[in-house]
């Protein structure tokens, strides 16, 4: 344990070491490689954004980070401790520090339980205080997330989507967690209230010193709230770096394409036509391409990409990339540009 | 139909002169005072009120708004796809001069898929899992044109090629589950366009798709529309998609059209506070880690719709005068908003 603790000093509050998560396919004949080798650390108090398309493994990652899934290989360390080694009682106490909020605010609430019953249930499970004090804490938290105390005795169907997501936030906050994994938490909300919920997350982070892992497919959301951004593709990290660098000066051809495909609500004269339309779709995680997984859609693909798996390299300080040809200047030129230039 | 509110009708004519006019001088689609209500146990529940707009041949119009604002039911009511026993539709839907609401069911069926086609958000539930995609596309053609099975198949293959599906001869014989989400949406587009309709209604066609695939599909829709001259109604909540695909944007709020304007105009200078609020709420446009703008409150429910301006309770510009019913005011040619303060307000758009 002392060795592990020592290690933890620089490991951050969450450390992911060579993580692999494999599932048998439905017919049992194949293996779905949902996460196929990821290494990163999350620092205390930061917002760590994870972005990727469906099938990139981001939801699996989120569930594994809070011990809802066990790593098939590799480790996830919580503050230096591997939760998989804890006994069931210690594990139950431990996991209160590592919580998750899901995408669908509706599905996350039991329709037959009142709001307050849902909010205090985690405290009941941990046998904290008596019923009256739990209720008091629950109502305090509901008020903190901007819901009136009257909402406490209502049922989920009487609340709007935004209000329900606030209830889910209040529920995890009653536990005073250290880390909250947010899996597409604003995807189901309308644009006009999304801002409110994101502002609330930012306020709560300051107030409670929370660490967030923010998983989303929405580039504008992730770039707005994150300190650092990890880009996932088919079970691997493609790029990881400070948010501003990843968004303004990406290193990986995939990140560049992803950013350029985000539709921008600007009038035509202000829009620079720099769209890179990727061909095809994300391949199957059952049989990912050899070498670099992005090569089948990469506009800068070279013969080497099919042979060697790109190393995970630090190209700029704190900015890592998995591409043979990325340099500190940025991603390699796409082949079409290179051809027309020569 | 006798118009309930005269100003509405006058307005819609004024707008046609500005925006909805085709080359031939007549709009392709002219929707006038379309009001929809559903019969419920508690009586009629009004869902949309006096929706009026027109679309010129070849024009691409984005219909935007939050969930529950009535954009999807408006799309469905144009094609009379709502359940007849519960949906009550009033108003006129003039398509090429014919009122679709007055057509017999048989004649309406001849319009659907032939003159006006529609694609939906979730391609998997719109495709039949037990028929090959080729059969389904060919059926859409053979319902409207006398053609042999072989010709139908040929046309289906050509349509698949047109929407950018590789190896269409092989894909034609595959079933929907063998295709990816983006491919299925391409199949839907191929099916919708096989009869060369004059108007395509696309209801959130890219919402279920990843952003890189969304870019492929919006590009495809725009280029097909430019090439074939098919007009497009693009129903979406994504203002970015509208900016990149459409020429005009119609904003709906709580069952009413609140703004109707050319896309570039409305993004630069919205005239209705709700449109401005939507534009300002987009995180990509505000400062990183700054406080995001949002619209306070929520959309009133159809059961408790306030009188006067429906946006009033959430509007930071509300003033005495807003409790009166609002009509569309044309502020400049082709740009109208349902707000009496619109001429005097300077509202923030997507660029400042």
Does residue A6 have a pLDDT over 60?
A: no
Cβ atoms of B29 and B201 closer than 8 Å: no
Cβ atoms of A322 and A238 closer than 8 Å: yes
Same domain? A182 vs A193 = yes
Q: Is A93 exposed, middle or buried (0-12, 13-18, 19+ CB in 10 A)?
A: exposed
- Mark which residues 245-284 of B lie under 8 Å from A by CB: 263-265, 267-268, 277-279, 281-284
Residue from A162, A205, A267 whose CB has the most chain B CBs within 10 Å, to mutate: A267
Contacts of B211 in chain A (CB under 8 A): 53, 217, 219, 258, 261-262
Residue A314 Cα, gap to closest chain B Cα (Å) = 25
Same domain? A301 vs A194 = yes
Percent of chain B with pLDDT over 90: 70
pLDDT in tens, B166-194: 889 999 999 999 988 888 999 999 999 99
Residue from B236, B283, B296, B299 whose CB has the most chain A CBs within 10 Å, to mutate: B283
Does residue B8 have a pLDDT over 70?
A: no
Same domain? B76 vs B121 = no
The pLDDT-based confidence of A338 (bands split at 50, 70, 90) is low
The pLDDT-based confidence of B51 (bands split at 50, 70, 90) is very high
Which of A194, A217, A244 comes nearest B281 by C-beta? A194
Residue A189: its pLDDT value, please? 84
Mean pLDDT of A84-101: 93
Domain contains A318:
yes
Domain contains B139:
yes
Q: Where are the alpha helices (DSSP H) in chain A?
A: 2-8, 58-65, 88-95, 115-125, 131-144, 161-173, 191-208, 219-225, 243-248, 253-261, 304-307, 335-341
Does residue B22 have a pLDDT over 50?
A: no
Query: Under an 8 A CB cutoff, do B211 and A258 touch?
Result: yes
Residue B285: its pLDDT value, please? 55
Question: Which CATH number goes with the domain that contains A281?
Answer: 3.40.50.300
Does residue B130 have a pLDDT over 80?
A: yes
Question: Which CATH number goes with the domain that contains B333?
Answer: 3.40.50.300
Same domain? A158 vs A268 = no
Same domain? A29 vs A16 = yes
The angle subtended at Cα A45 by Cα A41 and Cα A50, nearest 5°, is 50
Same domain? A311 vs A183 = yes
Residue B2: its pLDDT value, please? 38
Mean pLDDT of B42-59: 93
Residue A260 Cα, gap to closest chain B Cα (Å) = 9
Domain contains A217:
yes
Of A149, A176, A203, at which residue does a domain stop?
Answer: A176
Q: Quick one: which of A54, A70, A149 has its CA closest to A103?
A: A54
Residue A212: its pLDDT value, please? 97
Residue from B268, B275, B289, B301 whose CB has the most chain A CBs within 10 Å, to mutate: B289
Cβ atoms of B271 and B261 closer than 8 Å: yes
Same domain? B46 vs B153 = no
Query: Under an 8 A CB cutoff, do A219 and B211 touch?
Result: yes
Which of B215, B268, B284 comes nearest A261 by C-beta? B215
Q: Which residue of B has its CA nearest to A188?
A: B67
Q: Which residue of B has its CA nearest to A271?
A: B244
Domain contains B277:
yes
**Cα separation of A233 and A230, whole Å?**
10
| B207 against A174, higher pLDDT | A174
Residue B15: its pLDDT value, please? 40
pLDDT in tens, B74-99: 999 999 999 989 999 999 999 999 99
Residue B175: its pLDDT value, please? 95
Helix (H, G, I), strand (E, B) or coil at B3: coil
Query: Under an 8 A CB cutoff, do B243 and A243 touch?
Result: no
Which of B66, B268, B350 comes nearest A192 by C-beta? B66
Residue B3: its pLDDT value, please? 35
Domain contains A185:
yes
Which of A220, A270, A277 comes nearest B219 by C-beta? A277
- The answer to whether ipTM exceeds 0.85 is no
| B262 against B303, higher pLDDT | B262
| B266 against A264, higher pLDDT | B266
Same domain? B163 vs B311 = no
Residue from B122, B215, B299, B304 whose CB has the most chain A CBs within 10 Å, to mutate: B215
Residue B207: its pLDDT value, please? 82
Does residue A2 have a pLDDT over 80?
A: no
Residue A245 Cα, gap to closest chain B Cα (Å) = 12
Total Cβ atoms within 10 A of residue A29 = 8
Of B152, B179, B196, at which residue does a domain stop?
Answer: B196
Query: Under an 8 A CB cutoff, do B243 and A282 touch?
Result: no
Residue B244 Cα, gap to closest chain A Cα (Å) = 7
Q: Does any CB of chain A come closer than 8 Å to the CB of residue B332?
A: no
Of B157, B173, B196, at which residue does a domain stop?
Answer: B196
Contacts of A256 in chain B (CB under 8 A): none
Residue B33 Cα, gap to closest chain A Cα (Å) = 27
Same domain? B226 vs B314 = yes
Contacts of A205 in chain B (CB under 8 A): none
pLDDT in tens, A135-159: 999 999 999 998 988 899 999 999 8
Helix (H, G, I), strand (E, B) or coil at B132: coil
Does residue B115 have a pLDDT over 90?
A: yes
Residue from A158, A190, A200, A223 whose CB has the most chain B CBs within 10 Å, to mutate: A190
Range name among B159-168, B274-283, B287-296, B314-323 with the lowest pLDDT average: B287-296
Residue B210: its pLDDT value, please? 85
Domain contains B66:
yes
Cβ atoms of B92 and B1 closer than 8 Å: yes
**Cα separation of B72 and B203, whole Å?**
7
Residue B4: its pLDDT value, please? 38
Mean pLDDT of B114-143: 93
Same domain? A216 vs A71 = yes
Compute the mean pLDDT over every residue in chain B, rounded to the nearest whole number.
Answer: 88
pLDDT in tens, A105-115: 889 999 999 99
Residue B208: its pLDDT value, please? 79
Please give the residue range of the domain that contains residue A235.
2-97+177-341
Range name among A41-45, A84-88, A265-269, B10-14 with the lowest pLDDT average: B10-14
Compute the count of residue pairs across chains A and B with CB atoms less than 8 Å apart: 132
Helix (H) or strand (E) holding B275: helix B273-280
Residue B352 Cα, gap to closest chain A Cα (Å) = 11
Does residue B113 have a pLDDT over 60?
A: yes
Contacts of A279 in chain B (CB under 8 A): 216
Does residue B124 have a pLDDT over 90?
A: no
Contacts of B264 in chain A (CB under 8 A): 267-269
Residue A150: its pLDDT value, please? 87
Residue A261: its pLDDT value, please? 87
- Mark which residues 173-202 of B lie under 8 Å from A by CB: 180-183
Same domain? B219 vs B172 = no
* Non-local CB neighbours of A290 within 8 Å, separated by 6+ positions: A306, A307
pLDDT in tens, B301-343: 888 889 999 999 999 999 999 999 999 999 999 999 999 999 9
Q: Is A218 exposed, middle or buried (0-12, 13-18, 19+ CB in 10 A)?
A: middle
Contacts of A223 in chain B (CB under 8 A): 283-284, 288
**In Å, how far are A145, A157, B307, B309 from B300, measured between CA atoms?**
22, 16, 11, 11
Which of A53, A192, A223 comes nearest B212 by C-beta? A53
**Cα separation of B352 and B346, whole Å?**
11
**In Å, how far are B283, B286, B302 from B291, measured between CA atoms?**
9, 8, 31
Same domain? B154 vs B95 = no
Mean pLDDT of B117-123: 88
Helix (H, G, I), strand (E, B) or coil at A327: strand
- Mark which residues 284-313 of B lie under 8 Å from A by CB: 284-286, 288-289, 291-295, 298
Helix (H) or strand (E) holding B273: helix B273-280
Which strands, in side-by-side order, build the sheet including A47-51?
Answer: A98-101, A179-183, A211-216, A47-51, A228-233, A236-242, A319-321, A313-316
User: Total domain count for chain B?
Assistant: 2
Of B162, B181, B196, at which residue does a domain stop?
Answer: B196
pTM across the whole model: 0.85
Same domain? B257 vs B289 = yes
pLDDT in tens, A260-308: 888 888 888 887 766 787 888 888 888 899 999 999 999 999 999 999 9
Residue A52 Cα, gap to closest chain B Cα (Å) = 9
Mean pLDDT of B213-226: 91
Structure tokens given for A13: 């509050």
Residue A341: its pLDDT value, please? 55
Please give the residue range of the domain that contains residue B305.
6-102+199-337
Which of A160, A193, A225 comes nearest B289 by C-beta? A225
Contacts of A257 in chain B (CB under 8 A): 212
The angle subtended at Cα B282 by Cα B281 and Cα B287, nearest 5°, is 95
Cβ atoms of B49 and B253 closer than 8 Å: no
């Amino acid at each position: 344990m002392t060795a592990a603790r020592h290690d933890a000093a620089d490991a951050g509050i969450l450390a992911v070491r060579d993580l692999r998560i494999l599932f048998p396919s439905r017919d049992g004949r194949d293996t779905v490689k949902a996460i196929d080798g990821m290494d990163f650390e999350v620092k205390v108090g930061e917002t760590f954004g994870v972005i990727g398309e469906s099938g990139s493994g981001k939801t699996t990652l989120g569930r594994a980070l809070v011990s809802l899934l066990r790593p098939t290989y590799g480790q996830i360390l919580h503050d230096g401790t591997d939760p998989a080694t804890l006994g069931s009682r210690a594990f139950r106490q431990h996991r209160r520090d590592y919580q998750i909020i899901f995408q669908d605010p509706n599905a996350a609430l039991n329709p037959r339980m009142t709001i307050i019953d849902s909010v205090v249930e985690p405290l009941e499970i941990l046998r904290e205080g008596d019923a009256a004090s739990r209720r008091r804490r629950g109502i305090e938290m509901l008020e903190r997330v901007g819901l009136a105390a009257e909402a406490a005795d209502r049922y989920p169907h009487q609340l709007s989507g935004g209000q329900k997501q606030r209830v889910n936030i209040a529920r995890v906050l009653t536990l005073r967690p250290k880390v909250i994994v947010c899996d597409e938490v604003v995807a189901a909300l309308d644009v006009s209230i999304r801002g409110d919920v994101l502002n609330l997350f930012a306020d709560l982070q300051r107030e409670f010193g929370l660490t967030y892992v923010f998983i989303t497919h929405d580039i504008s959301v992730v770039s707005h709230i994150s300190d650092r951004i990890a880009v996932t593709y088919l079970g691997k990290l493609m790029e990881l770096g400070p948010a501003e660098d990843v968004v303004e000066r990406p290193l990986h051809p995939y990140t560049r394409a992803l950013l350029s495909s985000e539709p921008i609500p600007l009038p035509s004269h202000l829009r620079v036509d720099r769209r890179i339309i990727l061909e095809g779709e994300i391949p199957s995680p059952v049989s990912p391409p050899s070498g670099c997984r992005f090569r089948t859609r990469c506009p800068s693909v070279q013969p080497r990409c099919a042979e060697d798996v790109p190393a995970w390299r630090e190209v700029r300080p704190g900015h890592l990339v998995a591409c043979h040809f990325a340099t500190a200047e940025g991603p390699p030129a796409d082949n079409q540009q290179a051809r027309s230039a020569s | 139909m006798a118009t309930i509110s005269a100003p509405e009708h006058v307005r819609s004519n004024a707008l046609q002169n500005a925006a909805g006019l085709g080359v031939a001088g007549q709009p392709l689609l002219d929707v006038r005072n379309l009001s929809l209500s559903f019969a419920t146990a508690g009586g009629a529940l009004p869902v949309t009120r006096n929706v009026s707009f027109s679309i010129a041949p070849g024009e691409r119009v984005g219909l935007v708004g939050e969930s529950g604002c009535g954009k999807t039911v408006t799309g469905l009511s144009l094609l009379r796809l709502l359940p007849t026993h519960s949906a009550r539709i009033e108003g006129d839907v003039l398509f090429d001069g014919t009122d679709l609401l007055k057509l017999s069911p048989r004649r309406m069926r001849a319009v659907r898929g032939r003159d006006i086609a529609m694609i939906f958000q979730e391609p998997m539930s719109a495709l039949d899992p037990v028929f090959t995609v080729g059969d389904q596309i060919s059926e859409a053609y053979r319902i409207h044109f006398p053609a042999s099975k072989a010709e139908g198949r040929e046309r289906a293959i050509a349509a698949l090629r047109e929407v950018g599906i590789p190896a269409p001869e092989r894909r034609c014989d595959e079933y929907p589950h063998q295709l990816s989400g983006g491919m299925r949406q391409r199949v839907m587009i191929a099916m919708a366009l096989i009869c060369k309709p004059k108007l395509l209604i696309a209801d959130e066609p890219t919402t279920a798709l990843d952003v890189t695939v969304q870019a492929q599909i919006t590009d495809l829709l725009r280029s097909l529309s430019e090439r074939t001259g098919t007009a497009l109604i693009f129903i979406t909540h994504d203002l970015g998609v509208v900016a990149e695909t459409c020429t005009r944007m119609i904003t709906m709020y709580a069952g009413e059209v609140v703004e109707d304007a050319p896309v570039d105009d409305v993004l630069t200078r919205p005239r209705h506070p709700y449109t401005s609020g939507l534009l300002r709420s987009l995180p990509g446009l505000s400062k990183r880690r700054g406080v995001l703008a949002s619209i306070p409150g929520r959309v009133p429910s159809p059961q408790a719709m306030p009188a006067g301006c429906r946006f009033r309770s959430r509007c930071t510009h509300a003033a005495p005068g807003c409790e009166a019913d609002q009509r569309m005011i044309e502020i400049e040619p082709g740009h109208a908003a349902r707000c009496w303060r619109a001429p005097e307000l300077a509202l923030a758009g997507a660029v400042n």
